[in-house]
Amino acid sequence: MTIQWFPGHMAKARREVTEKLKYVDIVFELVDARLPLSSRNPMMDEIVQQKPRLVLLNKGDLADPHETQKWRQYFENKGYTALIINSHEGKGIKNIVPTCKEILKEKRDRQQARGMKPQAIRAMVIGIPNVGKSTLMNRLVKKNIAKTGNKPGVTKGQQWLKAGNDLELLDTPGILWPKFEDQTIGKKLALTGAIKDNLLHLDDLALYALEFFSKHYPEALKKRYDLTDEDLALEGVELLLLITKKRGFRDDYERASEKIIFEIRSGMLGTFTLDRYSEMKEELNGETTND
């Protein structure tokens, strides 16, 4: 399964982001807490450059809390301030503005010393598709202004939104890189819904999911699909066929694959994190990882 997806509007969005960085004080980099590294655009540092940044690990309610804390500390160690949030339910949102003020304290102090009145912080919200940008912005603005949708590619243009007296937000379309050098990253993104389902084979994705859960969350699989330890020892295809029969789909493994993916995305197998901190040494540029 080779996954590549780079619609033309994404190339345009990257140019627009680069052009409008000069108008903002800080960048909100939104990542999916279930895959904090894989859901980062590898061009992000090149695009954002030295602009102050706040990393927001969104969908924290769906992620393995133990792994999420490791990743939050990872970003802190890299020099970024990081917050764990759940924009859908509004958890952690109230910490964003105070944190921004702290990050920008020196700049705002200098402005005040020159007699300038405090201005609203202007922030750019950026991230890959379906990471929750529009939901976050609606929470901050407290209105359903930004378009939302549980599929990638909903936001197509840029818009400024006023979030109270302290914050103004610039929305941007999700930016994904042209291709995935590591197809595992593509599978992770696909499993969390960052890539349109019609661009991939759902049975291949379900096989990847079953292999991952068998290794890292076997109890969740056993509970959800009434499996035994012996069942989990089956090869991927055999396990998929077994679940297909148990769910009453006879030999319709494609339908079963779709159901498995839906249930994983919906949290029916519990919280999970696809990016395992202790396993991603190469992506972490040789940094030492700790359990």
pLDDT tens digits for range 118-176 = 889 999 988 887 888 889 988 998 876 655 444 443 344 556 788 888 999 987 766 65
> What domains does the chain contain, in order, with CATH numbers?
8-171 (3.40.50.300), 201-279 (no CATH)
Strands 121-126 and 167-171, bridge-based pairing: parallel
The pLDDT value recorded for residue 156 is 43
Considering only 18-22, 75-79, 151-155, 278-282, which range has the smallest mean pLDDT?
151-155
- pLDDT: is 130 or 180 the higher one? 130
The pLDDT value recorded for residue 3 is 54
Answer yes or no: is 48 a known binding residue. Answer: no
The pLDDT value recorded for residue 228 is 96
Considering only 69-83, 108-122, 137-151, which range has the smallest mean pLDDT?
137-151
Given a cut of 90, whether residue 204 has pLDDT beyond it is: yes
Answer yes or no: is 117 a known binding residue. Answer: no
Strands 26-32 and 121-126, bridge-based pairing: parallel
Answer yes or no: is 134 a known binding residue. Answer: yes
Answer yes or no: is 60 a known binding residue. Answer: yes
| Predicted model pTM | 0.87
Q: Enumerate helices (H) and strands (E) in the chain, giving the number of each.
A: 12, 6
Q: The tokens 């990393």 sit on which residue?
A: 55
Residue 97 dihedral angles phi and psi, to the nearest 5°:
-65, -50
The pLDDT value recorded for residue 154 is 39
Answer yes or no: is 130 a known binding residue. Answer: yes
Mean of the per-residue pLDDT values of the chain: 86
Question: Among candidates 128, 163, 121, 161, which has minimal Cα distance to 13?
Answer: 128
Answer yes or no: is 132 a known binding residue. Answer: yes
- pLDDT: is 146 or 60 the higher one? 60
Given a cut of 80, whether residue 21 has pLDDT beyond it is: yes
Give strand pairing partners of 132: none
- Distances 49 to 28, 38, 46, 102, 180 between C-alpha atoms, Å: 13, 19, 5, 20, 22
Answer yes or no: is 133 a known binding residue. Answer: yes
Answer yes or no: is 61 a known binding residue. Answer: yes
Mean pLDDT of 285-290: 51
Answer yes or no: is 198 a known binding residue. Answer: no
* Range 26-55 burial, b when 16+ CB lie within 10 A, else e: bbbbbbbbbbbbbbbbeebeebbeeebbbb
Given a cut of 60, whether residue 251 has pLDDT beyond it is: yes
Mean pLDDT of 21-47: 90
- pLDDT: is 209 or 199 the higher one? 209
What tokens were used for 277? 């901190």
* pLDDT confidence band for 290 (50 / 70 / 90): very low
